[in-house]
Amino acid sequence: MDTTNTAVLLIEFQNDFTTPGGALHDAVAGSMAETGMLANSAKLMDAAREAGATIIHIPISFKPGYSEITSHPYGILAGVVGSQAFVAGGWGAAITDEMTPAPADIVVEGKRGLDAFGSTNLDFILRSKGIQKVAIGGFLTNCCVESTMRTAYERGYDVVTLTDCVAATSSQEHQNAITYDYPMFSRPMTGTEFLAELSGVEAVADTSRGYEPAPA
């Protein structure tokens, strides 16, 4: 694989999801623990960056009062507003320490909805850098990650979903998305498998959630 045409998209690794005390952390804490996704994602980010892939962070945030969206939100955005999550400039909207962007990383601004392409210049960034392959991790398995996966697939990118770098609000939702939806619009794989493909070597069994591929 040519790592110069590969990007890792890291969706909403923000304190309101990742960190105790975050507005939505309790909702995802169980799923995060089951997959070890935060540690997995941090290891993957560092290794992919070292291998030469582009690292793109895609947080979501809103002005106090959520004036960017309807005054009568429903569905997942109603939950965001009701919990006062992801308020711009606040601790909850900040990217968690474990996933702190490096100087060369890209932080995409303007995400206000579910699909990371929808209200941002993500597609422009990817195409201007010659990116052909995207690997996606973050929150939620069956919401923003899935929405972004579907759009990336429709726009012709080679899409990988990182199955142990995502979390949802329940095990059932998480597993359902990975089992039934991800294979329709992506190539689902663990972080170990993705990094092995990135490095051109054979992946070893992911028993410790470390990303140390073995030589082919």
pLDDT at 204 over 70: no
State the Cα–Cα distance between residues 86 and 90, nearest whole angstrom: 7
- Are 11 and 159 in contact by the 8 Å Cβ rule? The answer is no
Q: Which CATH superfamily is domain 3-59+96-199 in?
A: Isochorismatase-like (3.40.50.850)
- Among 2-6, 49-53, 82-86, 155-159, name the one with the lowest average pLDDT: 2-6
State the Cα–Cα distance between residues 96 and 17, nearest whole angstrom: 9
Angle (CA) 189 194 195, round 5°: 150
State the Cα–Cα distance between residues 173 and 192, nearest whole angstrom: 23
Q: Distance from CA of residue 17 to its chain's centroid? A: 12
Residue (of 49, 169, 75, 8) closest to 177 by Cα position: 169
Q: pLDDT tens for residues 2-30?
A: 789 999 999 999 999 999 999 999 999 99
State the Cα–Cα distance between residues 30 and 168, nearest whole angstrom: 9
Structure-block tokens of residue 154: 């429709």
pLDDT at 216 over 60: no
Mean pLDDT of the chain: 93
How many Cβ atoms sit within 10 Å of the Cβ of residue 78? 13
Please list the residues that pair with 159 across neighbouring strands.
134
Relative orientation angle of helices 191-199 and 37-51, to the nearest 10 degrees: 10
Q: pLDDT tens for residues 66-119?
A: 999 999 999 999 999 999 999 999 999 999 999 999 999 999 999 999 999 999
Residue (of 94, 95, 67, 91) closest to 81 by Cα position: 67
Predicted TM-score of the model (pTM): 0.91
Residue (of 33, 44, 37) closest to 6 by Cα position: 44
Residue (of 1, 6, 11, 197) closest to 120 by Cα position: 11
Give every CB contact of residue 47 below 8 A, 6+ residues apart in sequence.
195, 211
Residue (of 143, 190, 195, 138) closest to 167 by Cα position: 138
Domain chopping of the chain, boundaries: 3-59+96-199
pLDDT at 203 over 50: no
- Are 198 and 1 in contact by the 8 Å Cβ rule? The answer is yes
